[in-house]
């Protein structure tokens, strides 16, 4: 299999994190240069169908995009450690927190960075107001995570799950714009420190 990857982008990092947590090392990594537009090349578009990364090309030529779809496939192929839920009930809770992490936190922060960081101008028609609004929305939503993390070590289970990965990767992407997470969110800071301490964080 081949993973079409872009080191700076947050969505591919989700997949790399899952691979690292599962200890998977037999997937070829193909680096894409977003600034040079390699993700828009005819060859890549023929495989992926969209100018998006990441994409996973399977041995039979099947190519899937969307980071969560790729992570779910990897969960099926490499089930240990479990990241998506070990029972129907736990799976539902993980799904709930993953969706909250993505829609309330990760997406606003990603949009905020894309509209405010100078280097992203090559990828985005930037609007500073859009960037500021989304960044504010992401910061406000961190209060939801803080309330949850006041009650539990991890977002969705008694161990790290895909919900934690989605949330942290989205938050950590804001380092590009040097966004400060309010010190009052003590539980988010404790959890973020634990995430950074994981060997897979370097993925």
pLDDT at 36: 87
Q: Are both 100 and 186 inside the same structural domain? A: yes
**DSSP code at position 122:** G
The verdict on residue 83 lying in a domain is no
What single string gives the DSSP state of each residue in 126-195? Answer: --HHHHHHHHHHHHHHHHHHHHHHTT-SSSSSSS--HHHHHHHHHHHGGGGGTPPPPTT-HHHHHHHHHH
pLDDT at 202: 85
The number of distinct structural domains making up the chain is 2
The verdict on residue 145 lying in a domain is yes
Looking up residue 71, the CATH number of its domain turns out to be 3.40.30.10
Helix (H) or strand (E) holding 11: helix 10-22
Q: Are both 98 and 164 inside the same structural domain? A: yes
As given in the structure block, the two tokens for residue 142 are 């961190």
Secondary structure (3-state) at 113: helix
Residue 138, Cβ neighbours under 10 Å: how many? 25
| pLDDT category of residue 29 using cuts at 50, 70 and 90 | very high
Q: For 42-82, how does the pLDDT look when each residue is reduced to its tens digit (9 = 90+)? A: 999 999 999 889 999 999 999 999 999 999 999 999 999 99
Q: Are both 105 and 21 inside the same structural domain? A: no
**DSSP code at position 98:** H
| pLDDT at residue 203 tops 80 | no
This prediction has a pTM of: 0.94
The verdict on residue 82 lying in a domain is no
Q: What is the mean pLDDT of the chain?
A: 95
Q: Are both 107 and 192 inside the same structural domain? A: yes
Q: Are both 72 and 103 inside the same structural domain? A: no
Q: Pairing relation of β-strands 55-57 and 63-65? A: antiparallel
User: 81: cis peptide before it, omega within 30°?
Assistant: yes
| pLDDT at residue 140 tops 80 | yes
Secondary structure (3-state) at 31: strand
How many residues make up the chain in this entry? 203
pLDDT at 182: 96
Q: Are both 63 and 116 inside the same structural domain? A: no
Range of the domain at 23: 2-77
């Amino acid at each position: 299999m081949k993973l079409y990857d872009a080191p700076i982008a947050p969505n591919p990092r989700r997949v790399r994190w899952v691979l690292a947590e599962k200890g998977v090392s037999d997937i070829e990594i193909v680096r894409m240069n977003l600034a040079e537009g390699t993700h828009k090349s005819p060859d890549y578009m023929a495989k992926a169908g969209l100018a998006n990364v990441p994409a996973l090309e399977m041995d039979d030529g099947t190519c899937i995009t969307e980071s969560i779809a790729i992570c779910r496939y990897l969960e099926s192929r490499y089930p240990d450690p479990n990241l998506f839920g070990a029972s129907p009930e736990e799976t539902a809770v993980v799904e709930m927190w993953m969706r909250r992490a993505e829609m309330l936190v990760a997406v606003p922060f990603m949009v905020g960075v894309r509209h405010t960081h100078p280097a992203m101008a090559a990828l985005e028609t930037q609007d500073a107001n859009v960037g500021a609004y989304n960044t504010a929305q992401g910061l406000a939503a961190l209060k939801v995570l803080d309330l949850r993390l006041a009650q539990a070590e991890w977002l969705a289970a008694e161990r790290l799950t895909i919900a934690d990965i989605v949330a942290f990767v989205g938050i950590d992407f804001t380092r590009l714009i040097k966004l400060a997470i309010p010190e009052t969110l003590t539980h988010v800071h404790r959890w973020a420190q634990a995430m950074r301490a994981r060997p897979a964080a370097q993925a």
